[in-house]
Amino acid sequence: MGGKGDKGGKGTTGAKGAKASKAGAGAKRPGRTRRAVLFGGLGVLGVAAVAGREEIRQAWWLLPGVSHPRQDGALDHAGASWTAASPANWRLADRPDDYTVDRIVVHVTQGGFASSVDAFKNPFHRASAHYIVDQDGHIEQMVRELDVAFHSGNRSMNERSVGIEHVGFVDRPKDFTDTMYEASARLAADICRRYDIPADRKHILGHSEVPGADHTDPGRHWDWNRYVRLVGDALRS
């Protein structure tokens, strides 16, 4: 399950003990984010004003302290349902304007669906993920993709990634059902499409592969070849 807080460190539940690999540790792709714009944002607006109203509108979101309009319960993935995680378990942001989103992190809950939802609603849990995928293919969104969920135990990875939990236990391969793989792959493809993330193992990684991770999920029974192939197929459909 997700990593505690927003400064890295130990995870909350999940399987522990695996050393992190280097997958997913690549540098951010070139791109202009709001954090890259100098605090003197008035200069940005001054230049944009010469070009016209549309450029002003686009430049406005690059200024510090400006937030996108929000609607309670809004979904980023059409196939999901909504339950809000506790605000203690995620951080308000305006991604991808302030942080480039270029990774997906795959988790396993080490518990059931209801207990995982309850954990993310609990302010003392100090962790959450953007989505939970159940074994029957149901998807629950708990944090907006705009915002930073505390799921990987690594602040930088949290800021640049979307976290997807899968209901089950790492040592029970039967928990990873065909329906779960297919629903999660459609979700991952949707995320890849919206943020232009390549559907490969550098950009779709497991919690155990996050630098500094002390979790082993999704574990040896997670079929990476199948999952990445399904994501690719969903992208092409």
Query: Rounded to an integer, what distance in angstroms lies between the CA atom of residue 59 and that of residue 44?
Result: 7
How far is residue 171's CA from residue 152's CA, in Å, rounded to a whole number? 20
Q: How far is CA 55 from CA 59, 66, 212, 215, 216, in A?
A: 6, 16, 41, 44, 46
Residues 116-143 have a mean pLDDT of: 98
* pLDDT at residue 103 is higher than 60: yes
- 99 with 160: CB under 8 angstroms? yes
**pLDDT confidence band for 68 (50 / 70 / 90):** confident
- pLDDT band of residue 190 (cuts 50, 70, 90) is very high
Q: What is the pLDDT of residue 71?
A: 82
Q: Which residue, 204, 173, 170, is CA-closest to 187?
A: 204
The average pLDDT across 45-54 equals 42
Question: Whole-number mean pLDDT of the chain?
Answer: 82
β-strand partners of 166: 108, 133
Q: Which residues of 17-40 are buried (b: 16+ CB within 10 A; e: fewer)?
A: ebebeebbbeeeeeeebbeebeee
* Dihedral angle of Cα 78, 82, 88, 91, to the nearest 10 degrees: 20
**Which of the pair, 4 or 26, is modelled with greater confidence?**
4
pLDDT score for 69 = 77
Phi/psi at 161 (nearest 5 deg)? -130, 165
Instruction: Look at 151 and 25; give whichever has higher pLDDT.
Output: 151
This prediction has a pTM of 0.78
More confident position, 71 or 196? 196
| pLDDT above 90 (res 182) | yes
**Higher-confidence residue: 61 or 148?**
148
- For residue 4, pLDDT over 50 is answered with yes
Strands in 117-214 per DSSP E: 131-133, 139-141, 148-149, 161-166, 204-206
CB atoms under 10 Å from CB of 46, counted, come to 12
Give the pLDDT of residue 129.
98
